Chain A
Amino acid sequence: METTISRTQTVVLAAEGITRRFPGVTALDHVSLEIRSNEILGLVGENGAGKSVLTKILIGIYQADEGRIWLNGNEVVMNGTSDAIQKGIGAVFQEGSLIPNLSVTENLFLCHEADFLQYGVLSKRRMAAEARRLLLPMNIDIDVDAPVASLSAAAKQMVEIARVLWLSEKYGASNPVVILDEPTTVLNDSERDTLFDILNKLKRRASIVFISHRLQEVLENCDRIVVLKDGQNVTDMPTAGLQISEVEKLLVGHDFSGDRFRENEQLAPNEPVTLKIEQMGKAGAFEPVSFDVHEGEIISLVGLVGSGKEELCRCIAGLDQYDTGSVTIDGTRPRKGSSRAAVLGGIGHVPIERREEGLALNLSVADNINYLVLDKLKWAGLISSRLEKEHARRWVAECLVKTPSIGSACAGLSGGNQQKVILSKWLSSGVRLLILDHPTRGIDIGAKDEVYRLIRKFAKSGIAMIIMCDTLEEDIGLANRLLVMRERRLIGEIDASPGHKPSPQELIKLVV
C-alpha cells in the first residue's frame, strides 16, 4: 500500500451543516463533510443514509435547504453539474453517463468541443489525439473511435474518470474532486484491482470520494472514512487499524454480529421431500446433479459466478430448458422449460432483478400481491374488488410491507418493501418451493433483517427454499444445508444446521 497521509494536506472541499428535506423525510440533517487534498475518502452508509443526496448536493444537482459549501476556503454555490465541474468537482455514477452510440472521443468532449472547431467543423484527428493523451494514465487499451457500447464496464468508468479530470484541468482546478458512486459493483476482481491502482496514482493530483457498500474494499483502499446514518454524521476517522465489525456497528447503530441471520429461529426441516432433483443436467451450463429439498428446509447454493448455480435455478424455475434428468415437486413433474408449469406445480422464483423481472412496477401493491390468486378472488364468476382488497390487506399485514396504501404503485416503494411484496405474492399463492436469487441485494440492513424474519417464518410453515446470497456469511447463517458448486459441478454438501455452522473461511476454500 502506498503512503496514506501526505505532508501537505489541505481541505479542498468542505460541506458544513448541510440539511436537505424532501416531502415527508429529512434526507440530510446538518451533515458535514471535509474532502482533503490527495486522499481517498470512503463514504459509507446504508441505503437511504443520504450518501447520494449529499453527492448530488456537492455537484449541484440538488440544492441544500441549509448549510454551506466551501471550496479552497471560499464559500461557493453549485449551480448544476456543469458549474460544479468548472470548479473541479465531478461525479461518476453507478448507472454511467456515457452515451452508448457515440465514440469514446465524442463522449469525452461532449458539449466542450469548442477547442476542436475550425470554421464550425470538428477536427476528428485532433479530438482523437487528445482522447489518447487523456486515456494514457488510465491504463486501458481501447480504440478511441469505437462506440462506448462496445467497451467493458471497467473501461467505461475509466473514460468517465478521464472526462472529469480533463474538464477540471480545462477549467484550471488545481485539485479536482472525483466522486465515485459504487464503482465496484459492476467490476470483476481484476478490474477492481486496476481501478484501485489508478485511484492510488490519481490521488497525487486529485481527491477521490469513494462510495461503496463493500466495507472490506473501503477499509483497504481509503485513507479516511465517513459514516452516514439516517441523514446524520456518525463518524469521520482514518481507516488505519479499523475493523469491519466496528464499522458495521456504526452503520447499524447496534452490534449485529450476534444473531444477524436469526439463527436461533432456525428449525430442523420436516421429513417429507418437497423437491427432488434427479440427474438434472444442461450441456455447457452444469453437469447432472441430484439432491432433495425437504419441507421447511433452506438449501443454499454456494459458488462463484459461472459455477452453474444460476443456470441450475433457472432450470428448476422453468425459465430455461434442461437436457437430462427430472424435477419432482410434491410428487408431480412439471413440464420442463415452462415457467407456467413450474408455478402451477408450486415452484416460486424471486429473481435478482426484482424491478425488471419480479414486479409490475406501475401496478399497485394489491395488483402485484393478487396476481397469482385472481382465480380465488372471484364472486359469481367475476373478480371481486372487495375480495381483492381483503386479500391484499391481509398479506401486506402478514409480510409487514410498508406502503402508503394497497393501491400505491410498487415503483414508489423502497427496495426492501418491493421485495416483501414479491414474497407475499408467492406465499399467498401457496407456493411449496421458493427460489430466492440474492433476496437481500441492494436493500438496507434494517429491511434485510425483516426479510430474514420472513424467510424463517416461511420455513416454519413448511415451505422449502433454495437461496443464493450476496455473502457467504448470509448463506451460512440462513441455510440448513449448503450445496457447493464449482466449475459447473456439484462438488459437496455441508451441514449448516444450528450449532454446526461452518466458518466462511472453511467454505471459501471449497468454492474457489
Chain B
Amino acid sequence: MRPAASNTDAMRVPKSMSGTAVEVTKRWLRRSGIVAQLISLVLVIAVFALGTEGKNLSGANIQVVLSLAAIPAILAAGLHLTIVIGGIDLSLQGTVALCAVFVGLLSRNKFNGNDVGLWVVPIGIAIGGACGLVTGLLHTKLRIPSFITTLGISWVLYGLAVYINRAMIISLQDDRIQTFINDKPLGIANIAVVALAIALIVQFFEDRTRTGRYLYAVGGDEALAKQLGVKVDRVKILAFAVAGCLYGLGAVLLVNRMGTATSRAGLNLLFPVITAVAVGGVSLTGGLGGAKNALFGTLILTVLNNGMVLMAVNPYAQTAVNGVVLIAAVALTLDRKKLGFIK
C-alpha cells in the first residue's frame, strides 16, 4: 500500500462544495423543482395582461386572485401529501362537506342552540383529521388501493353530511372568523396569509423532518423503504390524516367566508385542487414535488381562470380549458418508467 494514495484522497474536494454563488443559486433553483412553475406563472400573467389590457394587474384584481386561491391552496397543501406517497385522495369533497355541516351546526346558528365560538377551528380540523385517519387505516390495513378507498369514503362522508344536514341552509350568526378572513393588516387578505403560512409549514415539514423525508422515501420506492426500516403504513396513514386536517381547516374557512353552511359546500372542489397539484409539478407517480409546488399550481390555475373570466371567455370553454390543463400537466410530470404499463 502506497501512503501517497491516501493523501490524494484526503485532498480531493467533492464537487458539491465548489462553485460560484451564481452556480449555487442555479443549482438551488434547479433542485427546488419550481423553475417551470415560476415561468408558467409569469407567462400566464403576461398573456392575460395582454388579453385584458392590464386589467388583471390592477391592485383590486390581485387581491381577488389571492383570496380566490387561498382555500384551494390549503386543500392542495393537504391533498398533495397523498400524491407524494404515491397514492391519491379523492375524499376531499366528502370530507369538506361533512366538516362544513358540523361547522355550521356547532357555530351560533338559528337551527339549534350550539355555539362553540372559535373552538370551531380546531374542531373542524379534528373532524377532517379523523376522516383522513379512517381513510388511511382502511387503505393500509385492508390493503385497498387509495383511489378506491378514498372514492368510497368520499361518498360515505357526503351521504353522512346530507343526512345530518337535511337540506338546511345554515346561516352563521358569528362573523368573527369572516371578519378575520377579509381583514388586510398586511396589505393582503388574512386568508391568503394563512394559506401561505400553511404552505410554508408543510414544505418545512417535508424538507426538514424525518417523517417528511419518509413521505418521499415511500413515494420513491415503497418496498425498499419498508426494507430499510421505514414504518410505511404509519407514514401513509399520517399523510391521509394531515391531508384530512387541512381539508377541515379549508371547510372552516369556506363556510365562514360564505356565511352559510350546507352539505353542498364541498362540491366541485376536487377537480381544481387535483389539477392545481398536477400543474404545480407534483408527480402522480409519487416522490416528487412539495407544498410549494401545490401552491404554485394553485396560483397558476387561479390566474388562468380569473383571466378567462376577465376576458369574458365562454364559461363552457373555461371548463374545457381546465380539463386540457390537467391532462397536459400530468402528461409532463408522470414518470412512465416507474409505472411500466399505463392502465
Q: Which residues of A are in contact with B by a Cβ distance under 8 Å?
A: 2, 81-82, 97-102, 106, 110-111, 113, 117, 120-122, 124, 128, 132, 135-137, 139, 141-146, 201, 204
B229 within 8 A of A: yes
A145–B16 Cα distance when bound, in Å, is: 8
Q: Which residues of A contact B16 (CB under 8 A)?
A: 128, 132, 142-146
Given contact pairs A111-B228, A136-B9, A137-B9, A101 touches B220 in the complex (Cβ within 8 A): yes
Q: Which residues of A contact B1 (CB under 8 A)?
A: 2, 201, 204
B31 within 8 A of A: yes
B250 within 8 A of A: no
Between A and B, 12 residue pairs with Cβ closer than 8 Å are: A99-B216, A111-B229, A113-B210, A113-B213, A120-B209, A122-B213, A132-B14, A136-B14, A137-B9, A142-B14, A142-B15, A201-B1
Q: Which residues of B contact A142 (CB under 8 A)?
A: 14-16
In the bound complex, do residue A136 and residue B12 qualify as a contact, i.e. CB atoms below 8 Å apart? yes
Q: Which residues of B contact A102 (CB under 8 A)?
A: 213, 216-217, 220
A146–B15 Cα distance when bound, in Å, is: 11
B282 within 8 A of A: no
A161 → chain B closest CB, angstroms: 15
In the bound complex, do residue B217 and residue A110 qualify as a contact, i.e. CB atoms below 8 Å apart? yes
Which 3 residue pairs across A and B have the least CB separation, nearest first? Answer: A111-B229, A101-B287, A101-B220
A403–B113 Cα distance when bound, in Å, is: 73
Given contact pairs A136-B10, A141-B15, A144-B14, A97 touches B228 in the complex (Cβ within 8 A): yes
B 8-40 to A, binary, CB cutoff 8 A, 1 in contact else 0: 011010111100000000000001000000000
Query: From residue 195 to 240 of chain B, which have CB atoms closer than 8 A to chain A?
Result: 207-210, 213, 216-217, 219-221, 224-225, 227-230
B 244-280 to A, binary, CB cutoff 8 A, 1 in contact else 0: 0000000000000000000000000000000000000
In the bound complex, do residue B14 and residue A145 qualify as a contact, i.e. CB atoms below 8 Å apart? no
In the bound complex, do residue B227 and residue A81 qualify as a contact, i.e. CB atoms below 8 Å apart? yes
Q: Which residues of A contact B220 (CB under 8 A)?
A: 99-102
A135–B17 Cα distance when bound, in Å, is: 14
A107 → chain B closest CB, angstroms: 9
In the bound complex, do residue A99 and residue B9 qualify as a contact, i.e. CB atoms below 8 Å apart? no
Q: Which residues of B contact A81 (CB under 8 A)?
A: 227-228
Q: Which residues of A contact B225 (CB under 8 A)?
A: 99, 110
B77 within 8 A of A: no
B244 → chain A closest CB, angstroms: 22
Q: Which residues of B contact A124 (CB under 8 A)?
A: 207-208
Q: Which residue of A lies closest to B16 (CB)?
A: A143
Q: Which residues of B contact A106 (CB under 8 A)?
A: 213, 216-217
Beyond known contacts A81-B227, A141-B15: 14 more, CB 8 A cutoff: A81-B228, A97-B224, A99-B220, A101-B219, A101-B288, A106-B217, A124-B207, A124-B208, A136-B10, A139-B9, A141-B12, A141-B14, A143-B15, A144-B16
Query: From residue 259 to 311 of chain B, which have CB atoms closer than 8 A to chain A?
Result: 287-288
Q: Which residues of A contact B207 (CB under 8 A)?
A: 124
A128–B31 Cα distance when bound, in Å, is: 15
Q: Which residues of B are in contact with A by a Cβ distance under 8 Å?
A: 1, 9-10, 12, 14-17, 31, 207-210, 213, 216-217, 219-221, 224-225, 227-230, 287-288
Q: Which residues of A contact B224 (CB under 8 A)?
A: 97-99
Given contact pairs A82-B229, A122-B213, A100 touches B208 in the complex (Cβ within 8 A): no
Q: Which residues of B contact A137 (CB under 8 A)?
A: 9
A436 → chain B closest CB, angstroms: 25
B224 → chain A closest CB, angstroms: 5
Q: Which residues of B contact A101 (CB under 8 A)?
A: 216, 219-220, 287-288
Q: Which residue of B lies closest to A149 (CB)?
A: B220
Most buried by B among A99, A113, A121, A144: A99
A141–B12 Cα distance when bound, in Å, is: 9
A102–B286 Cα distance when bound, in Å, is: 12
Q: Which residue of B lies closest to A2 (CB)?
A: B1
In the bound complex, do residue A117 and residue B210 qualify as a contact, i.e. CB atoms below 8 Å apart? yes
Q: Which residues of A contact B219 (CB under 8 A)?
A: 101
Q: Which residues of A contact B228 (CB under 8 A)?
A: 81, 97, 99, 110-111
In the bound complex, do residue A110 and residue B230 qualify as a contact, i.e. CB atoms below 8 Å apart? yes
In the bound complex, do residue A100 and residue B209 qualify as a contact, i.e. CB atoms below 8 Å apart? no
A87 → chain B closest CB, angstroms: 15
Given contact pairs A101-B220, A110-B230, A122 touches B208 in the complex (Cβ within 8 A): yes
A136–B10 Cα distance when bound, in Å, is: 7
Q: Which residues of B contact A122 (CB under 8 A)?
A: 208-210, 213
Q: Which residues of B contact A99 (CB under 8 A)?
A: 216-217, 220-221, 224-225, 228, 287
A2–B219 Cα distance when bound, in Å, is: 44
B288 → chain A closest CB, angstroms: 6
Q: Which residues of B contact A146 (CB under 8 A)?
A: 16
A201–B213 Cα distance when bound, in Å, is: 34
In the bound complex, do residue B217 and residue A97 qualify as a contact, i.e. CB atoms below 8 Å apart? no
Q: Which residues of B contact A139 (CB under 8 A)?
A: 9
B175 → chain A closest CB, angstroms: 37
A101–B213 Cα distance when bound, in Å, is: 11
In the bound complex, do residue A121 and residue B208 qualify as a contact, i.e. CB atoms below 8 Å apart? yes
A101–B15 Cα distance when bound, in Å, is: 20
Q: Which residue of B lies closest to A104 (CB)?
A: B16
B23 → chain A closest CB, angstroms: 11
A136–B14 Cα distance when bound, in Å, is: 8
A240–B337 Cα distance when bound, in Å, is: 45
A458–B230 Cα distance when bound, in Å, is: 52
A98–B209 Cα distance when bound, in Å, is: 19
Given contact pairs A101-B219, A102-B213, A135 touches B288 in the complex (Cβ within 8 A): no
Q: Which residues of A contact B288 (CB under 8 A)?
A: 101
Most buried by A among B15, B217, B220, B288: B220
Most buried by A among B9, B16, B217: B16
B4 → chain A closest CB, angstroms: 13
Q: Which residues of A contact B209 (CB under 8 A)?
A: 120-122
Given contact pairs A121-B208, A139-B9, A145-B31, A132 touches B227 in the complex (Cβ within 8 A): no
Q: Which residue of A lies closest to B14 (CB)?
A: A132
Q: Which residue of B lies closest to A113 (CB)?
A: B210
A30–B255 Cα distance when bound, in Å, is: 71
Q: Which residues of A contact B15 (CB under 8 A)?
A: 141-143
A81–B15 Cα distance when bound, in Å, is: 32
A2–B5 Cα distance when bound, in Å, is: 14
A110–B216 Cα distance when bound, in Å, is: 11
Q: Which residue of B lies closest to A356 (CB)?
A: B340
A122–B205 Cα distance when bound, in Å, is: 10
A121–B211 Cα distance when bound, in Å, is: 10
A124–B28 Cα distance when bound, in Å, is: 14
Q: Which residue of B lies closest to A140 (CB)?
A: B14
In the bound complex, do residue A100 and residue B221 qualify as a contact, i.e. CB atoms below 8 Å apart? yes
A376–B230 Cα distance when bound, in Å, is: 53
A80 → chain B closest CB, angstroms: 9
A142–B14 Cα distance when bound, in Å, is: 7
A120–B208 Cα distance when bound, in Å, is: 8
A128–B15 Cα distance when bound, in Å, is: 12
Q: Which residues of B contact A204 (CB under 8 A)?
A: 1
In the bound complex, do residue B210 and residue A97 qualify as a contact, i.e. CB atoms below 8 Å apart? no
A307 → chain B closest CB, angstroms: 27
Q: Which residue of B lies closest to A128 (CB)?
A: B16
B40 → chain A closest CB, angstroms: 22
A132–B31 Cα distance when bound, in Å, is: 19
A2–B288 Cα distance when bound, in Å, is: 45
In the bound complex, do residue B230 and residue A111 qualify as a contact, i.e. CB atoms below 8 Å apart? yes
